[in-house]
């Protein structure tokens, strides 16, 4: 199945007489022209008239929230282009007009920013799911769980009603904690898109989006460009097919898809874009999305070399990074400074020696003391990161402590050994460059340009259904343009 050739004007692949640089320049000029025509937010237009389907959802959710008791949860589902964001804003306005206090929450800080923009409020008026419950995420190799955050408590009683966006990411364990924390009068409406990726290490649609009463939008109402057309085509594939073929660039009225002849040309394009927008400090201009952590690490390393040079220190003042897991305070591991997937700016970086009790040979780890700050302008915090040259030594030390803890546990005295293991593990923040993300980490965010490592996603485990969700989620992160390695033309 070839990608829709009539969805917009077409930009052909490079001709034999056109250089790689000339072809990329042609694509970038088209992308810049598109950027001038578009805005990043889609607020409800003045005098906007909901469709009958959208109005039924507004009326149904308003009726649900007016019930005394009658259940705590409802769900509101809709695919990309169905008007779900605009309808959510109208739902909030209708509830507030009826005298209710309405809170907004989402799984990540990036998703909170997207939700705030859609509803016309500041990010400070939103909360992450975990912070709302006074919890923090705790990941292990085999499962995801949530544990109490030191000094925090549930805040669900702050509002009568909560609109919980991007609920497709909500893990069943977190839903259980919400159920336990919600009082009899609080109402929570889970909002999401069942075609997106399932919660990490769950593998099925989040039960949050199956809560009843359930209100669904099924019709795609916004036809504003090639990206939405392609996302809809992906969502509608069946059987062993998970996406259409992308053989050429398509310039749409509201968004475009740009194709590149091979991986080298595609990579050259995002390297140039990375350098350009790094100079402008414009982090949401573009991201690269892949499936595996290995590919993310490889691409991030390539971009970092291009931007900072091969001999750059591992952490630099002014550099932007993302937390891989929760980050603890260097001197108090009970205090969580940042959750996972927080985007940070390094304000200062100093190389230090760090001697941990696990250093049985008396040789310290090479580390970096970093002063960091979020885009929300929270007060700067100091964290510690391991120098990459000592990562192998750290992993060996952790493996040894884990083995000791397992052996001690079999004898009924493993707690202190596990405490030593976690103390070493929490001594260093796990950070990565921000340019390239896995599809799971990108979920809930939006960027103007998205480069999709499609070859990586086409190899994803889980068969056609999982690959379909990966592609759909990746494409719907883009506000203006998606950049892909072209599929080969198939001739009859």
Question: What is the pLDDT averaged over residues 138-155?
Answer: 70
DSSP string of 376-402, one letter each residue: T-PPPEEEEEE-GGGHHHHHHHHHHHH
**pLDDT at residue 336, rounded to an integer:** 84
Inform me whether the pLDDT recorded for 427 exceeds 80. yes
Inform me whether the pLDDT recorded for 22 exceeds 80. no
**pLDDT at residue 45, rounded to an integer:** 52
Instruction: Record the tokens describing residue 153, joined without a space.
Output: 């408590």
CA pair distance 462, 202, nearest whole angstrom? 12
Element (H, E) at 485: strand 478-485
Poorest-confidence range of 99-113, 132-146, 423-437? 132-146
More confident residue, 38 or 278: 278
For 300, phi then psi, to 5°, come to -60, -40
Maximum Cα–Cα distance across the chain: 73
Alpha-carbon distance values, 213 to 87, 99, 110, 311 (Å): 17, 22, 28, 58
Give the model confidence (pLDDT) of 228-275 as tens digits.
999 999 999 999 999 999 999 999 888 999 999 999 999 999 999 999
Question: What is the pLDDT averaged over residues 12-37?
Answer: 52
Inform me whether the pLDDT recorded for 301 exceeds 70. yes
Poorest-confidence range of 184-198, 359-373, 413-427? 413-427
Inform me whether the pLDDT recorded for 148 exceeds 90. no
Find the angle CA(28)-CA(29)-CA(34) to the nearest 5 degrees: 95
pTM passes above 0.95: no
Question: What is the pLDDT averaged over residues 295-314?
Answer: 96
Inform me whether the pLDDT recorded for 41 exceeds 50. no
Find the angle CA(476)-CA(481)-CA(485) to the nearest 5 degrees: 95
Q: Where are the alpha helices (DSSP H) in 134-191?
A: 172-181
Place of tokens 């695919």: 79
Would the CA dihedral through 457, 217, 225, 223 be positive or negative? positive
% of the chain beyond a pLDDT of 90? 61
Question: What is the pLDDT averaged over residues 326-331?
Answer: 89
**pLDDT at residue 4, rounded to an integer:** 46
Q: Is 396 exposed, middle or buried (0-12, 13-18, 19+ CB in 10 A)?
A: exposed
Contact 246, 229 (CB under 8 A): no
**pLDDT at residue 230, rounded to an integer:** 95
**pLDDT at residue 405, rounded to an integer:** 87
pLDDT bin (cut points 50, 70, 90) of residue 153 is confident
Q: Where are the alpha helices (DSSP H) in 238-262?
A: none
Alpha-carbon distance values, 5 to 8, 156, 279, 355 (Å): 7, 49, 36, 61
**pLDDT at residue 271, rounded to an integer:** 95
Give the model confidence (pLDDT) of 67-90 as tens digits.
876 679 999 999 999 999 999 999
Contact 129, 170 (CB under 8 A): yes
**pLDDT at residue 414, rounded to an integer:** 63
> What does the mean pLDDT of the chain come to?
87
Q: Which residues contact 113 (CB under 8 A, 6 or more apart)?
A: 123, 126
DSSP strand pairing (214-216 vs 431-433): unpaired
% of the chain beyond a pLDDT of 70? 86
More confident residue, 182 or 23: 182
**pLDDT at residue 43, rounded to an integer:** 46
CA pair distance 441, 108, nearest whole angstrom? 9
């Amino acid at each position: 199945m070839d990608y829709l050739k009539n969805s917009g004007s077409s930009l052909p692949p490079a001709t034999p007489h056109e250089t790689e640089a000339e072809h990329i320049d042609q694509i970038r000029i088209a992308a810049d022209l598109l950027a001038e025509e578009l805005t990043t937010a889609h607020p409800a237009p003045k005098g906007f008239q909901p469709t009958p389907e959208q109005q039924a959802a507004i009326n149904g959710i308003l009726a649900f929230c007016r019930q005394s008791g009658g259940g705590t949860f409802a769900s509101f589902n809709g695919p990309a282009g169905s008007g779900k964001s605009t309808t959510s804003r109208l739902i909030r306005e209708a509830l507030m007009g009826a005298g209710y206090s309405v809170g907004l929450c989402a799984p990540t800080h990036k998703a909170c920013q997207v939700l705030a923009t859609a509803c016309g409020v500041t990010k400070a008026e939103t909360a992450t799911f975990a912070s709302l419950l006074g919890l923090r995420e705790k990941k292990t190799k085999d499962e995801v769980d949530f544990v109490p955050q030191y000094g925090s408590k549930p805040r669900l009683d702050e509002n009568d009603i909560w609109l919980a966006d991007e609920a497709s990411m909500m893990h069943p364990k977190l839903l259980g904690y919400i159920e336990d924390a919600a009082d009899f009068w609080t109402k929570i409406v889970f909002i999401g898109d069942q075609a997106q990726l399932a919660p990490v290490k769950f593998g099925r649609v989040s039960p949050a989006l199956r809560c009843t009463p359930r209100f669904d939008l099924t019709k795609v109402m916004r036809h504003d460009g090639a990206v939405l057309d392609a996302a809809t085509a992906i969502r509608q594939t069946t059987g062993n097919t998970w996406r259409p073929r992308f053989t050429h660039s398509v310039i749409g009225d509201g968004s475009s898809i740009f194709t590149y002849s091979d991986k080298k040309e595609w990579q050259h394009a995002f390297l140039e874009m990375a350098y350009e927008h790094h100079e402008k400090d414009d982090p949401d201009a573009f991201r690269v999305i892949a499936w595996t952590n290995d590919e993310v690490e490889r691409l991030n390393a390539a971009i970092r070399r291009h931007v900072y040079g091969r001999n750059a220190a591992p952490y630099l003042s002014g550099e932007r990074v993302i937390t891989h897991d929760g980050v603890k305070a260097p001197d108090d591991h009970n205090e969580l400074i940042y959750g996972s997937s927080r985007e940070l700016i390094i304000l200062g970086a100093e190389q230090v020696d760090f001697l941990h009790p696990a250093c049985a040979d008396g040789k310290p780890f090479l580390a970096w003391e970093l002063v960091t700050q979020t885009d929300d302008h929270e007060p700067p915090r100091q964290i510690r990161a391991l120098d990459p040259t000592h990562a192998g030594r750290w992993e060996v030390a952790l493996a040894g402590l884990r083995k000791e803890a397992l052996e001690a546990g079999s004898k009924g005295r493993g707690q202190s050994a596990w405490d030593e293991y976690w103390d070493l593990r929490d001594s260093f923040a796990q950070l990565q460059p921000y340019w390239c993300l896995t599809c799971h980490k990108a979920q809930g965010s939006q960027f103007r340009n998205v480069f999709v490592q499609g070859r990586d996603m086409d190899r994803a485990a889980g068969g056609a259904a999982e690959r379909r969700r990966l592609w759909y989620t990746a494409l719907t992160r883009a506000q203006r343009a998606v950049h892909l390695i072209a599929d080969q033309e198939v001739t009859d």
